[in-house]
Structure 1
Amino acid sequence: MGLRSGSRRRLDQEGQEPSSQGVLGRLGAVRRAQQISTYGVGAMVAIGDQSFLVSGLDSWKVEPDFDIREPRLESDLHVRGFHLPPASDPPAGDGVRVRRFPTTYSCQGCGALKPYSGFNSPKGRGHCGQCDRAVTPSRFVVACAKGHLSEFPYWEWTHRRREAASPGSTDRCRMKLISTGRTASLRSIVIQCSCGKKASHEGAFSGKEMARLGITCQGHRPWLGDEAAQPGCGEALQALQRGASAAWFPVVRSALTIPPWHKALMQMVMRREHRRHLVGKDDAHIAEYALDEGWLADGRYTPADIVDAVRTLEAAEREQDTDPENPDAFELADRLRTEEFRQLSSTTEDQHFVCVPANATADSPTVPGVEQTMLVKRLREVRVRGAGSAHPGNPGAGAG
């Protein structure tokens, strides 16, 4: 799917232009499957020599109808269906929005350390307007145990102060990033201010020094925008490498589509345009609707089959509407897996689900503790993420 910049205002600031179709500028692409496991909401993605953050679901363009239905998973997650991530091509959708993060960049030539927009880069080029050398995103970010994510507090760290920089101080104090190159340790990375203050990165990753300086989390959630902070967080901050695998964790829920939900009849009944005419209606109305739609014409289904499918769907939705005091995720997974194990232990052969006994012979090796071996030839798994993000200490969610 296409990754597109988050706002036209930001496009203007960064020297990019919307396409002729009015779609925001395309920056790169990732596979749809990666939106579930690798690049979900709140995850950082490197595009060329720049860094971006996948925006919240509120910025995605999705159709009102659900793309995927899986009643067992819907019931456990208390939702009404699932959407596929937006498509990549402009005619099919305008992709997934991203925001520049971190916004702090440094120049490889003069070492200037400031917001990307402050480099006055030529249009379409990530270069310093002063020395014409490439600028690169900050190597470091900070996060808290509640999942908030922020720029590394370079000004506060260098000046050894807990107070944030006052308005206008960025102009008065010009920051530089200097790498001494003497060693590969953080001690060789020095931040220097025009006021004379300087500090190396040594100790930044332990968290203790930031706590000693009183530098705490301000509740920033950059994937939702600049105004989406949660004030009063105050949690301790942990420095992270921008591209580290530990900077973001997806929380994925999955379920196998097993009988009766895999059957073509159930999939048809669950479609939005039919469901609203069937759920909650009496048997006679359901049979009449099935006749009008032509479902009974070829003798494949009987009125009783249609009614049974609708009642099964209603029962699943009643279970979905009852909130069992937010059961633990492990309990939900255990219930789903128990149902799946029971189904995978029996023989089923049809269009969407094929599970048969393996062809074992007298010479086939045996495995201690394994009583039965089944061969699964056809199966569908639905994997989903929710609408948040996850950083150290806060396994949140993304999109699916």
Structure 2
Amino acid sequence: MSNLENKYQIPIKKTRVRSSTLVFPFGTGAMIDLPDWVLMTVSGEHWDRKKLTTIHDERLEKILKVREFKSPVVKQSDKDLADEKKDKLYIPFVQFPTWYFCPKCRRFKPLKEWEQDYKRVNGDDAVMVIRPVCSKCRIKLAPARLVVACENGHIDDFPWIAWTHLKNHKKICENPKLKIKTSGVTSGLEGISVECESCNARVNLSGTFTGKDKNEFESLENIAKQKQLVDDDFSLKCKGNRPWDGTKDMNCGVYPTTTQRGATNIYFPKIESSIVIPPYSDKFTKMIEESDSFVTMNTELEFIEKRNLSNEEKEKTIKETIDKISEETNLNKYTVKKIVLRKLESSDDESLTTDKTKYKEDEYKALIGDLSYDIFNQADFKVEPVEGSNYGKSYIKKVVLVHRMKEVRVLTGFSRINGPDNNVMDSDDESNEGKCKIIRPLSDKNWYPAIEVNGEGIFIEFDDKLIGKWADENSEVLKRVNSLNKKYYKILSDRGFLLRKITPKFVLLHTLSHLIIKELSFKCGYSSTSLRERIYCNTESDNYNMSGIMIYTANGDAEGTLGGLVRQGKSDRLSKIIDNAIEKARFCSSDPVCIESLGQGRDGLNLSACFSCCLISETSCEEFNTLLDRALIVGTLDNERIGFFNSYK
């Protein structure tokens, strides 16, 4: 574990961290607040790879150009092994932030100085490994509330010493001793100040955040140099600190942004999600993937690639492995060869790496029955199609009850300050997406951290012709959606992201999906966080029409795995659920403000939609609670005709 402090590796069982959260929301580079510490999850190359669970999704592996995914979640079948070796099965963390203060004596300094202080007073610092305590007051230390981060993904402690002195137009004293003082009037930053006992420099924290048009650190640095408070080589620019892997990027060159430790812009995970579909979900593929010989082959092929050995060596390894897998699994050698060679083929369709909508086409085809496969040979994809006529709704073309499905969620990177382009499935190394740098969770290109969710769901296919007719006959619909597009395009172009056109059909399907999730949560007892949506909607440039939504269990190991959600998709219940969802959408406790809104929510990317009527948990929404408009469902006070469900029952 070079570059990392061994003493700050905390076993999962002691931190009480749910292992699945180490992919999302507390993946590599993210801070997690624990009772005694604030820790940061380290990069994947420092995980104990041999003890991680291997999972596969052949489609996603080819798009991301990796051989496998690794999960910190122990499968149920491996429970006995996990119990036997539970002391060794952990994901390491590092200490961040490193500045702590004592709530009683108010002393404020880095953790290393606290350790030295404790060791000087008590003879050793063993207690500090378990929890940070003040050597004088013997109470638990509290972490600093502020940190600095930059758009290149780096993060560091706030420059407390330099800020306190230079803000007072003083030189940094030789022996700074900081204390945090509170006024008791307010709990906000304006009620907190930092002072140096050595030189009486004092500064209030209310002015620490960077303004919109200027960077406070750049301004402070320029003033300090003009007044000769610092040397010419002094800089408050980002130091390129990467605590998650113990390295530094020495040439970052940008001024950081001050942010609170728990702010939403401190960490944006880039998660790729995929449904495992035929033929990749069949029993034979699963048997081969779980065989010891296949695991060994991947390890050997990785070694061959790293050493740049000959193709003959690679072909020999593959041929020998096919024989071993056939013997181990008792499968026909021809079947094994066909599946293994298919898995080793690279993806020829490069467009999939830049368009999530196109990636979903195969899922849509599998759900509606346009993809031929052996239904009796499926291990992770079992569906029951039901004709839409059974539901008594003109707009429902088909309903598919998904009795069993597997979703794979992969952490491909993260960014800070600016969110990544979530419409792009990026497979490159650390790269810039517009003004947002994506930091990869590990340097090893052969795998990504991931989790798999086995659950159930309801897929609804809508009549595309009816939706098209409704949009064409209502000019007000297009006008409302165009106003969203203008805002959306401005955000995308400013950040350099992939442009896509938001259509009335997409806003309609997305809003209806939210309303159904809220109704399921209210009517059937599912928490909104236990359900997720998947929107299938083609763009105007696509040749293949998709008009569907799937609502499925997001936490398959916790609730909703015993057929409860599928039962709600039966014809005697789903129709009532949709009717109730639409009826409740007609009224919002924030009306008339909500229904008349022309822009609300993040960046004004919602029209008639707020938390009282349409918004759900952001972890359940594909678009982070944006691009919603209740008016397209039920109409406005002035024009009920634009509501799709006022025209079609």
The TM-score normalised by the length of structure 2 is: 0.50
Q: Which residue of 2 aligns with 1:91?
A: 85
The answer to whether the 8 A contact 1:86-1:96 is kept is: no
Post-superposition offset of 1:113: 0.9
Establish whether residue 353 from structure 1 lines up as the match of residue 360 from structure 2.
no
Establish whether residue 152 from structure 1 lines up as the match of residue 158 from structure 2.
yes
Instruction: Flag the 1:397–1:266 CA change in 2: closer, same or farther, 3 A.
Output: same
Name the SS for the 1:372 alignment partner.
strand
Post-superposition offset of 1:79: 0.3
Establish whether residue 142 from structure 1 lines up as the match of residue 148 from structure 2.
yes
Instruction: Flag the 1:384–1:112 CA change in 2: closer, same or farther, 3 A.
Output: same
Question: In 2, Cα distance between the equivalents of 1:289 and 1:10?
Answer: 42
Q: Which residue of 2 aligns with 1:179?
A: 182
Amino acid at match of 2:330: W
Establish whether residue 312 from structure 1 lines up as the match of residue 346 from structure 2.
no
Name the SS for the 1:239 alignment partner.
strand
Question: In 2, Cα distance between the equivalents of 1:286 and 1:158?
Answer: 64
Establish whether residue 128 from structure 1 lines up as the match of residue 131 from structure 2.
no
Query: For each residue in 1:141-197, what CA deviation from the matched residue of structure 2 results, as whole angstroms up to 9, or x when unmatched?
Result: 110011100001111211227xxx98xx6x711011111123344222111112121
The answer to whether the 8 A contact 1:250-1:396 is kept is: no
Query: For each residue in 1:72-104, what CA deviation from the matched residue of structure 2 results, as whole angstroms up to 9, or x when unmatched?
Result: 111000000011127686714330111111110
The answer to whether the 8 A contact 1:145-1:392 is kept is: yes
Q: Which residue of 2 aligns with 1:18?
A: none
Q: Which residue of 2 aligns with 1:250?
A: 269
The answer to whether the 8 A contact 2:288-2:325 is kept is: no
Q: Which residue of 1 aligns with 2:241?
A: 220
Instruction: Flag the 1:285–1:175 CA change in 2: closer, same or farther, 3 A.
Output: closer
Of 100, 110, 113, which aligns to 2:105?
110
The answer to whether the 8 A contact 1:221-1:229 is kept is: yes
Amino acid at match of 1:91: K
Which structure 2 residues correspond to residues 385-396 of structure 1 after superposition, within 5 A?
Answer: 385-386=411-412, 388-393=413-418, 394-396=437-439
Query: For each residue in 1:256-303, what CA deviation from the matched residue of structure 2 results, as whole angstroms up to 9, or x when unmatched?
Result: 1111111121223344614849x957x99899767655725xxxx5x5
The answer to whether the 8 A contact 1:141-1:241 is kept is: yes
Establish whether residue 209 from structure 1 lines up as the match of residue 216 from structure 2.
yes
Instruction: Flag the 1:179–1:91 CA change in 2: closer, same or farther, 3 A.
Output: same
Of 265, 273, 293, which aligns to 2:293?
273
Q: Which residue of 1 aligns with 2:586?
A: none
The answer to whether the 8 A contact 1:390-1:397 is kept is: no
Moved more, 344-353 or 233-242: 344-353
Name the SS for the 2:194 alignment partner.
strand
The answer to whether the 8 A contact 2:189-2:205 is kept is: yes
**Aligned length in residues:** 363
The answer to whether the 8 A contact 1:216-1:236 is kept is: yes
Question: In 2, Cα distance between the equivalents of 1:49 and 1:289?
Answer: 50
Q: Which residue of 1 aligns with 2:474?
A: none
Of 370, 386, 410, which aligns to 1:384?
410
Question: In 2, Cα distance between the equivalents of 1:199 and 1:396?
Answer: 34
Question: In 2, Cα distance between the equivalents of 1:291 and 1:50?
Answer: 50
Instruction: Flag the 1:157–1:285 CA change in 2: closer, same or farther, 3 A.
Output: closer
Query: For each residue in 1:280-328, what CA deviation from the matched residue of structure 2 results, as whole angstroms up to 9, or x when unmatched?
Result: 57x99899767655725xxxx5x554443344334xx233xx795xx68
Query: For each residue in 1:343-396, what CA deviation from the matched residue of structure 2 results, as whole angstroms up to 9, or x when unmatched?
Result: 11118454432122126555x24263x42221111111111113x543222454
Moved more, 268-277 or 107-116: 268-277
Q: Which residue of 2 aligns with 1:200?
A: 204
Amino acid at match of 1:37: F
Structure 1 residues without counterparts, runs of 5 or longer: 1-5, 12-22
The answer to whether the 8 A contact 2:40-2:244 is kept is: yes
The answer to whether the 8 A contact 1:354-1:379 is kept is: yes
Question: In 2, Cα distance between the equivalents of 1:287 and 1:113?
Answer: 62
Amino acid at match of 2:400: M
Instruction: Flag the 1:372–1:231 CA change in 2: closer, same or farther, 3 A.
Output: same
Question: In 1, Cα distance between the equivalents of 2:393 and 2:202?
Answer: 67
Name the SS for the 1:318 alignment partner.
coil
Instruction: Flag the 1:34–1:25 CA change in 2: closer, same or farther, 3 A.
Output: closer
Instruction: Flag the 1:105–1:367 CA change in 2: closer, same or farther, 3 A.
Output: farther
Question: In 2, Cα distance between the equivalents of 1:50 and 1:91?
Answer: 25
The answer to whether the 8 A contact 1:251-1:397 is kept is: no
Establish whether residue 295 from structure 1 lines up as the match of residue 330 from structure 2.
yes
Amino acid at match of 1:354: K
Question: In 1, Cα distance between the equivalents of 2:156 and 2:322?
Answer: 58
Moved more, 97-106 or 185-194: 185-194
Amino acid at match of 2:60: L
Moved more, 107-116 or 70-79: 107-116
Moved more, 63-72 or 255-264: 63-72
The answer to whether the 8 A contact 1:145-1:236 is kept is: no
The answer to whether the 8 A contact 1:177-1:192 is kept is: yes
Name the SS for the 2:149 alignment partner.
strand
Q: Which residue of 1 aligns with 2:359?
A: 336
The answer to whether the 8 A contact 1:220-1:230 is kept is: yes
Identity of aligned residues (%): 26
Amino acid at match of 2:393: T
Name the SS for the 2:181 alignment partner.
strand
The answer to whether the 8 A contact 2:164-2:201 is kept is: yes
The answer to whether the 8 A contact 1:52-1:98 is kept is: yes
Post-superposition offset of 1:46: 1.2
Instruction: Flag the 1:260–1:191 CA change in 2: closer, same or farther, 3 A.
Output: same
Query: For each residue in 1:35-87, what CA deviation from the matched residue of structure 2 results, as whole angstroms up to 9, or x when unmatched?
Result: 12111111111111421111122221111997112211110000000111276
Amino acid at match of 2:279: P
Name the SS for the 1:202 alignment partner.
helix
